[in-house]
Amino acid sequence: MKISELSRRTGVPVASIKYFRRQGLLPAGRATAATLAEYGEEHAERLRLIKALTTLGGLSIAATREVLGAVDQARTTEGALGAISYALPVPVASQGGAGEEEEAEAERAAGAEVAELLAALDWRAPAASPHVQGLTTALKELRRLDAQYAPGELAAYAGLAESVARLDLARAECLDDPVALAERAVIVFAICAPVFELLRRLAQEDQVRRRLADGDAGGPPSECGPH
Amino acid sequence: MKISELSRRTGVPVASIKYFRRQGLLPAGRATAATLAEYGEEHAERLRLIKALTTLGGLSIAATREVLGAVDQARTTEGALGAISYALPVPVASQGGAGEEEEAEAERAAGAEVAELLAALDWRAPAASPHVQGLTTALKELRRLDAQYAPGELAAYAGLAESVARLDLARAECLDDPVALAERAVIVFAICAPVFELLRRLAQEDQVRRRLADGDAGGPPSECGPH
DNA sequence: AGCTACTGGATAGTGGCAGTATCTTGTTGT
DNA sequence: ACAACAAGATACTGCCACTATCCAGTAGCT
């Protein structure tokens, strides 16, 4: 199929298709002449994946390239899952605070907290893992905002995260073909994160609503269990 | 304190402070003369919050303005929580697909799936809620990618999301002062989402690692339980 | 062969965003 | 009086994700 038809079938403008090609997100069509190339179903598929990653997953073009690169290099299941996980952007940017001294101190404290958590849960992750780094940064900032997790709270969240991850893995692994598996894994890892976030928001919304209804009788606006 | 000192203490450049003021994120200092204003501790505090929302929470300036507006208008606990929840950007953008006919069909199917989920969980949320809308969009796209959730899977995620939300609410509500509460709620809602995402990634990483270790003996690269 | 519509590829331009720099006018402190 | 700084307004910068234009080179019809 020609580029115009690919465009028509996917709803992506021709100029954007060319752009994705230039950016290395989409392989070139099979050239049949100097100014003519043939595109196949796999191109349409890839285009759908690109759109899903950028719009649903909120990934940048660069991040999408990373992720798709990991998909394309996926030879074994495990390798693919790991590569994809590392290719996804970490959702925290460090910010460079003011003080020098206390900054280092906060960094140490946060790092210790992360290490302790990993040890308690028996999660194995290299200290250089971007996720460990990001978590350390986030905890450091929360500490600076005076909104640390209470003891055990972080572990409670982590336990739930583990359950979620178990569901993710089950969802990602039930395929035989390594290529299909890699693509599925991308979707599960990259696109299902916002879905869970939405579920969490809905759950929050519901609970807030319930609390409002309960408190309607004129009780105190916020009661808080013993802590 | 003068703007230069505010800058020094928070690590935010003077030009950026002015920019935030123009954008309505930061109240003006108390003017003591035509070209002189006095800033207080609350400005430093607000600046820290802004930086946390934009760098850790990944919010845009516009979204940050929304959220801070909700904080400032927070009179009651419940109102604040709801307003903040709605002020946060929804992590899915709709994308406008190709076909007209089947598009509407997919939309209907996804909408029904969401409604069914909400009914099953007895979650109360208006159909117009941005979270409901976003979830519908996401499910529609997943369907198009042939990566729908298996029956019951979505509910399993939702159950975990509910537990997470319960932790969130507990974390947000343990304060008396409504202003402090609103600020805490912002942090819990906006900044802890990436933290959970990181925990999820770490959990995924650990489980992938374990699976790799198990399969090392030379077994088949991917086995999948009976399903 | 001639003509038009279309193709792939290269290059340049657009609009939005998040700052950053500059300029003007006014104030402070010595 | 005067250098140093302050405030606000305006303009500029760099990045990103496209989008438009231009240039040969076919394809297919007549």
Residues 150-189 of B with CB under 8 A from A: 150, 153, 156-158, 160-171, 173-176, 178, 181, 184, 187-189
Question: Is the pLDDT at B129 greater than 50, yes or no?
Answer: yes
Local structure of residue A100 (DSSP, 8 states): S
Q: Tell me the mean pLDDT in the region B105-134.
A: 93
Q: Same structural domain for residues A81 and A102? A: no
Is B81 contained in some domain? Answer: yes
Q: Which residues of A touch B49 (CB under 8 A)?
A: 145
Q: Are A110 and A139 in contact (CB under 8 A)?
A: yes
- CB of A120 within 8 Å of a chain B CB? The answer is no
Q: Are B7 and B21 in contact (CB under 8 A)?
A: no
Residues 196-215 of B with CB under 8 A from A: 196-212, 215
Q: Which two tokens stand for residue A116?
A: 């302790």
For residue A62, say whether its CB is under 7 Å from any atom of strand D: yes
Question: Is the pLDDT at B150 greater than 60, yes or no?
Answer: yes
For residue A15, say whether its CB is under 7 Å from any atom of strand D: yes
Q: CA of B45: which chain A residue's CA is closest? A: A145
| Residue B120, phi then psi, degrees to nearest 5 | -60, -35
Of A47, A65, A86, which residue is a domain's last? A86
Question: Is the pLDDT at B21 greater than 60, yes or no?
Answer: yes
| Residue B64, phi then psi, degrees to nearest 5 | -60, -40
Is A216 contained in some domain? Answer: no
Is B185 contained in some domain? Answer: yes
Give the model's confidence band at B96: pLDDT under 50 very low, under 70 low, under 90 confident, else very high. low
Length B119 CA → C6 C1' (Å): 53
Is A134 contained in some domain? Answer: yes
Q: Same structural domain for residues A122 and A179? A: yes
Q: Same structural domain for residues A67 and A105? A: no
- CB of B126 within 8 Å of a chain A CB? The answer is no
Is A24 contained in some domain? Answer: yes
Residue ranges making up the domain that contains A47: 3-86
Q: Same structural domain for residues A20 and A99? A: no
**Residues facing A31 on adjacent strands:** A37
Is A197 contained in some domain? Answer: no
- pLDDT tens for A156-210 read 999 999 999 999 999 887 777 788 888 888 998 888 899 999 999 999 999 988 8
Question: Is the pLDDT at B4 greater than 80, yes or no?
Answer: yes
Closest C-alpha among A198, A200, A206 to residue B164: A200
Q: Same structural domain for residues A181 and A105? A: yes
Is A119 contained in some domain? Answer: yes
Give Cα separations from B6 to A3, A110, B11, B45, B117 (angstroms): 56, 26, 8, 10, 49
Residues 61-80 of A with CB under 8 A from B: 76-78
Q: Same structural domain for residues A146 and A100? A: yes
Q: For residue A225, what pLDDT is reported?
A: 42
Domain containing A17 — which CATH number?
1.10.1660.10
Give the model's confidence band at B220: pLDDT under 50 very low, under 70 low, under 90 confident, else very high. very low
pLDDT: is A103 or B60 the higher one?
A: B60
Number of domains into which chain A is organized:
2
Interhelix angle for A192-215 vs B192-215, to 10°? 130
Comparing A96-110, B41-55, B92-106, which segment has the lowest mean pLDDT?
A: B92-106
Closest C-alpha among A138, A134, A132, A144 to residue A106: A144
Strands B36-38 and A36-38, bridge-based pairing: unpaired
Q: Cα B69 from chain centroid?
A: 16
Is A199 contained in some domain? Answer: no
Q: Do B205 and A139 touch (CB under 8 A)?
A: no
Owner of token pair 């997953």: A57
**Residues facing B31 on adjacent strands:** B37
Q: Same structural domain for residues A117 and A175? A: yes
Q: For residue A218, what pLDDT is reported?
A: 44
